[in-house]
Amino acid sequence: MTFPNQPSFKTLQDLSKNPIDLTKEENFTDSRIEKMQLKACGFTLLYGSERVTEEVLTSLYSLAEESNALEKMKQMQEGKVINKIEGYPSEKRSVLHTAMRDFFKEQHEEEAAKEAREFAYKEVEKLKAFLEKIGDQYTDIVQIGIGGSDLGPRAIYFALEAFNTSGRNAHFVSNVDPDDATCVLNKLDLKKTLFVIVSKSGTTLETLTNESFVRDYLEKKGLNPLDHILSVTGKSSPMDDPSKYKASFYMRDYVGGRYSVTSMVGCVALGFCIGMKHLLSFLEGASIMDKHALNAPLKENMPLLSALLGIWNRNFLNLPTTAIIPYSQALHRFTAHLQQCDMESNGKQINKKGEFVDHETGPIIWGEPGTNGQHSFYQLIHQGTTTVPMEFMGFKESQYKNDLVVKDSTSQEKLLANLFAQSIALATGQKSDNPNKTFLGNRPNRVLIAKTLDPKTMGAILSYYENKVAFQGFIWDINSFDQEGVQLGKVLANKIIDLFIEKRTQKKAEPFHLATSYLKALEEL
Amino acid sequence: MTFPNQPSFKTLQDLSKNPIDLTKEENFTDSRIEKMQLKACGFTLLYGSERVTEEVLTSLYSLAEESNALEKMKQMQEGKVINKIEGYPSEKRSVLHTAMRDFFKEQHEEEAAKEAREFAYKEVEKLKAFLEKIGDQYTDIVQIGIGGSDLGPRAIYFALEAFNTSGRNAHFVSNVDPDDATCVLNKLDLKKTLFVIVSKSGTTLETLTNESFVRDYLEKKGLNPLDHILSVTGKSSPMDDPSKYKASFYMRDYVGGRYSVTSMVGCVALGFCIGMKHLLSFLEGASIMDKHALNAPLKENMPLLSALLGIWNRNFLNLPTTAIIPYSQALHRFTAHLQQCDMESNGKQINKKGEFVDHETGPIIWGEPGTNGQHSFYQLIHQGTTTVPMEFMGFKESQYKNDLVVKDSTSQEKLLANLFAQSIALATGQKSDNPNKTFLGNRPNRVLIAKTLDPKTMGAILSYYENKVAFQGFIWDINSFDQEGVQLGKVLANKIIDLFIEKRTQKKAEPFHLATSYLKALEEL
């Protein structure tokens, strides 16, 4: 049964013609806010400021039930082959990023999931031994990867920088732009620097190029690359080579790039910086939320509820984007990670039977931290002509516990006051005789709060979002785990690279007439 | 005449029912790409990959003419009072950020513009003298500001980091989150650090809080804040106080925060890092593009053309967002700046007569640099269900000129090949029997190219976007220069801060019942 043919789809469409008006005092009340809360794993999700009623929620839960969302979550975590399109050539793989952290309670014992967990745990032990062996030889680590090998690790590194072992820092080079590597390398003491080159296939163009860059730099400084360069790659890939790398850590093809933070892709640099104790705590947090997504019943399942609210906003209120706004500067790159995780997973045009869908799939995800965003794009959020659903995050306590009372309140209190003020202002709006001071309100939003952003909490937030994205894909019945949409650009880029080479080396390239006109414009600058 | 009542509006609506199909080979041709180019100020704008025809362009130019867009640009640059809403209490100000860099050719001699220029130039000379006086005492500078006092300066600093005086670096603290300041300050040698506190009113909550933070830190380290702290503020604001600041630089209320990069708001930290020669070159680039926006006729005006293409995509093809994607890692924060510049300017619900508009205004602006984005959200761009217009930027040469040939091509060639490949792939798409390998194409995009990202080019790009935003506002007949939409959140936040204070100090606060429920949820964590 396709998504728009589910019985509750029609009900929800009818309900969406007249969504609850949150600007009316009798609708948006204290008792609503207190009732519309879900608590799990140390978090509270406040969703009274979404435009849903009990009736809407009931139908949304039916939607989840009709699409077997919870059963599909089970299949995923057990290692069934769910990354595929029926009837067409496609990837045919398990999706087992949850196994990368299944080291704690209630471990999966199904064969595929167990095998993946054991494989992953061996790598964690290898990492522990490696970090012990190198001792204090190195102070800095540079992660060289792109996409999932960059965004997730970078986001989590900054989120947990407060937990760094003193004197240790990570840096990131991702872009094939030569200025990226130059700018980062210029600032480092290379003698004390490790590099982690990350590519599952061992063939990613940007990453291999940047690796050559680094090798060249090290050699020019009289250093031996073999003392400085690690790889994270598939076993037996061209990058699994002890003659070129000081150590290699492995990943498998059942972990997609955008879901790979908790594999060695993220763990090597993170473990180097925050140490094994904090790293394991991060993995445990993710695992706890995975088990919650797996076992919590329909109405108590936090990632599922978030997925359903997102579907209400996307498919029934017809809102094309979602802003994810952490009120925490440490999470300043987390939305960029979720942008990949969500948009690459659910920005799809066909369902799992290979049929073009006739409904919207994944929204555009964007955002910057609050309060910064308030001083930037919130003008449009409050008074623009396109409504943007907001997903807020906040923490009761700061990370460094280094705060100051200014004008009778702490910074953390000011931060939280702003978060809650926005949630209320967006919902209620404000009436005024001056049209420019009128706020129409009814801007849907929800607020996820937790005690503090420590490694365990960060792991759980990561898993909360990964599983939210998975649930949405399950309900839309699309394949959230391939990325065919990135291929065409790669193919054409390689043809244009050949044109550049032809110009410099006379090595004959295949003609590509459209590209020639672009290159001519470049030439004429 | 309101925007939807302009004669060409109807024509464009008709034309938009059947926009040109770029997936047809006979439509998207070399001669189209070569013809649809506009050259100005060292840039080429390639727009053959937009879904426009000559007929559409003619009507778009009529739209600009009917709305007096060029005349309004003149009024702005001359200092007429254009920041206002007719018939309602509102700001009543000139908009003179262009005067902040009008130090070169064809200077404005109208009274307001001239006065503003002279005021600005005096500050530039003060800055020059200050930088000479401090010599090599300081190595680092920390900008403390939020919104326009943060995003623009940060974006330009990273864009031009390659031009830094050796050993000098800038840092930024913006968020009221106490972890932001702690994380930055922990890494610095405070003895050699300057702080620039930026707030026009001298009353911005976040900024004053962070200033107290810094003063406290300096004093704890036995340092005298008066040796380290500068201010950028309005003359006679609480922050214009020689007993508290080593030096103060001034700004005026005719420069909005989001347009303030070329005022002292951006110039102090930039000048400290890149030196006066590069700073003036940056200002000159902006001024050259300002004069182009002012003087170039309708069909040769680059910011105007970009504005019109944006309006076509937004109001006629009904596309709610725009992604701005520089193929340059140095511009990695530039889109965040444009997000503010554009969305805070044009995310408006009323026109200049105070009437609620019945058409879309400013789009949601988002994006990350290429090639990184390709490995992140391009899946949705190519195969998602919501079309995203793309504004690409690229440069013929890298900044550091430090490149390497890997597999016969340089990194810069790979970068540009990817940029052009995306422009083509998005337009043409790809047919396939496999629906998952089908690309529907017709994704509108345009490509702005220049020789290299030096200070002058950066100035011109900044002005290009500022003036594009202004032109769109002129055509929609909205006030792009106020920001009433941020007020409600501020008011409510202050009420909630009072609740926090009440809890700690028993100082009685005004009851705010909705907020109480949020605070209770926080308490229960």
Instruction: Tell me how close the Cα of B380 comes to any Cα of chain A, in angstroms.
Output: 4
**Residue B320: per-residue pLDDT:** 98
To the query of whether residue B375 is one of the catalytic residues in this protein, the response is yes
Contact B347 A451 (CB under 8 A): no
Best residue in B32, B151, B177 for a mutation probing chain A (most A CBs within 10 Å): B177
What is the reported pLDDT for B204? 86
Tell whether omega for the bond before B44 is within 30 degrees of 0, i.e. cis: no
**Residue A203 clears pLDDT 90, i.e. is over it:** no
Beta carbons within 8 Å of A129's beta carbon, 6+ residues apart: none
Contact A206 B383 (CB under 8 A): no
Assigned CATH class of A3-66+296-481: alpha beta
Cβ-Cβ contacts under 8 Å, B449 against chain A? 521-522, 525
pLDDT in tens, A277-321: 999 999 999 999 999 999 999 999 999 999 999 999 999 999 999
pLDDT at residue A74 in the model: 98
Mean pLDDT of the residues in chain A? 97
Task: Reply yes or no: is the peptide bond before residue A371 cis, omega within 30 of 0.
Answer: yes
With a CB cutoff of 8 Å and minimum separation 6, the contacts of A446 are A45, A46, A47, A49, A50, A306, A309, A390, A391, A392
Cβ within 8 Å, pair B398-A179: yes
Cβ(A107)–Cβ(A283) under 8 Å? Answer: no
Picking from A177, A362, A425, the nearest residue to B329 by CB comes out as A177
What's the CATH number of domain A94-278, 3.20.20.70, 3.40.50.10490, 3.40.250.10, 3.40.50.720?
3.40.50.10490
Question: CATH topology of A3-66+296-481 equal to that of A94-278?
Answer: yes
H or E stretch at B193:
strand B193-198
User: How far, in Å, CA of A50 to CA of A28, rounded?
Assistant: 10
CB contact under 8 A, A379 and B486: yes
Q: Choosing from A206, A211, A344, A391, which is the catalytic residue?
A: A344
Check A375, A401, A507, A513 and give the catalytic one.
Answer: A375
Which chain A residue has its CA at the smallest distance from B412's CA?
Answer: A177
pLDDT at A506: 85
- Closest chain A residue by Cα to residue B507: A408
In this complex, the residue of A209, A366, A449 whose CB is nearest that of residue B364 is: A366
Per-residue confidence (pLDDT) for residue B495, from 0 to 100? 97
- The catalytically annotated residue of B123, B344, B391, B466 is B344
Residues of B in contact with A416 (CB under 8 A): 496, 500, 522
Contact call for B525 and A487, based on CB within 8 A = no
- Whether A375 is catalytic is yes
> Is the Cβ pair A515, B421 closer than 8 Å?
yes
Pairing of strands B229-234, B321-326: unpaired
Flag if B497 and A420 touch (Cβ within 8 Å).
Answer: no
User: In whole angstroms, what is the distance from residue B523 CA to residue B525 CA?
Assistant: 6
For B41, B289, B351, the CA distances from B64, given in Å and listed in that order, are 21, 19, 16
A347 to B90: CB separation less than 8 angstroms, yes or no: no
Share above pLDDT 70 across residues of chain A, in percent, rounded to a whole number: 100
Q: Which residues of B touch A497 (CB under 8 A)?
A: 409, 413-414, 417
Nearest CA distance, A111 vs chain B (angstrom): 30
- With tokens 């520089």, the residue in question is B326
Amino acid code (one letter) for B200: K
Contact A489 B344 (CB under 8 A): no
* B348 contacts in chain A (CB < 8 Å): 379, 383-384
Contact A409 B368 (CB under 8 A): no
Segment holding B83, helix H or strand E: strand B81-83
Query: What's the whole-number mean pLDDT along residues A133-141?
Result: 97
pLDDT of residue B201: 87
Q: How many residues does chain A have?
A: 525
Cβ neighbours of A451 (radius 10 Å): 13
Per CATH, domain B3-66+307-478 is 3.30.2320.30? no
The alpha carbon torsion through B122, B125, B127, B128 (nearest 10 deg) reads 180
What is the model's pLDDT at position B403?
Answer: 92
Predicted confidence at residue A206, as pLDDT, reads: 86
CA distance A424 to chain B (A): 7
- Verify whether the Cβ–Cβ distance B385 to A213 is below 8 Å: no
Nearest CA in chain A to B369: A175
Residue A1, pLDDT above cutoff 90: no
Tokens describing residue A245: 């790398």
CA–CA dist A249, B185 (Å, integer): 35
Query: Which ipTM value was assigned to this complex?
Result: 0.97
pLDDT tens track for B407-420: 999 999 999 999 99
Pick from B320, B371, B488: CB nearest A176: B371
Best residue in A177, A334, A353, A500 to probe B by mutation, most B CBs within 10 Å? A177
Q: What is the pTM of this model?
A: 0.97
Residues in A touching B29 (Cβ below 8 Å):
514
In chain A, residues with a C-beta closer than 8 Å to the C-beta of B166 are none
Query: Do residues B489 and B481 touch, judged by C-beta distance below 8 A?
Result: no
CB-nearest partner of A88 from B176, B434, B521: B434
Q: Using a CB-CB distance cutoff of 8 angstroms, which residues of chain A are in contact with residue B403?
A: 178
A91 → chain B, closest CA residue: B436
- Could B347 and A381 be called an inter-chain contact, meaning their C-beta atoms sit closer than 8 Å? yes
Strand order in the sheet with B169-173: B169-173, B140-144, B193-198, B229-234, B247-251
**Where are chain A's structural domains?**
3-66+296-481, 94-278, 485-523
DSSP string, B117-182: HHHHHHHHHHHHHHHHHHTTS-SEEEEE--GGGTHHHHHHHHHTGGGPPTT-EEEEE--SSHHHHH
A458 with A465: CB under 8 angstroms? no
Chain A residues within an 8 Å CB radius of B208: 406
Question: Which residues of chain B make contact with A209, given a CB cutoff of 8 A?
Answer: 404, 406, 411, 414
Judged by CB atoms closer than 8 Å, whether chains meet at A28 and B514 is answered as yes
Task: Find chain A residues with C-beta within 8 A of B436's C-beta.
Answer: 85, 88, 90, 350, 354, 482, 484
Q: Is the pLDDT of residue A204 over 90?
A: no
Instruction: Name the pairing type of β-strands A193-198 and A390-395.
Output: unpaired
Interface test with A, best of B39, B179, B214 (most A CBs within 10 A): B179
Number of Cβ within a 10 Å radius of residue B184: 18
Closest alpha carbon to A474 in A182, A66, A34, A188: A66
Shortest alpha-carbon distance between residue A13 and chain B (Å): 19
Q: Which residue of A has its CA nearest to B406?
A: A209
Interface mutation vs chain B, best among A375, A408, A446, A484, most B CBs within 10 Å: A375
Whether A382 and B489 lie within 8 Å, measured CB to CB: yes
The β-bridge relationship of strands A321-326 and A390-395 is: parallel
- Burial label for A77, CB within 10 Å (0-12, 13-18, 19+), is buried
CB-CB neighbors (< 8 A) of A413 in chain B: 497, 500-501
What is the interface size between A and B, counted as CB pairs within 8 Å?
496
Residues in chain B with pLDDT < 50? none
CA nearest to B368 within chain A: A336
A490 is catalytic: yes
Indicate yes or no: CB of A176 within 8 angstroms of CB of B414.
Answer: yes
- How many residues are recorded in chain B? 525
Residues of B in contact with A501 (CB under 8 A): 408-409, 413
- Average pLDDT, stretch A496-502? 97
> Is the Cβ pair B213, A515 closer than 8 Å?
no
- The 3 state secondary structure assigned to A303-358 is HHHHHHHHHHHHHHCCCCEEEEEECCHHHCCHHHHHHHHHHHHHCCCECCCCCECC
* Identity of the amino acid at B400: Y
Instruction: Choose, from B220, B407, B490, B508, the residue flagged as catalytic.
Output: B490
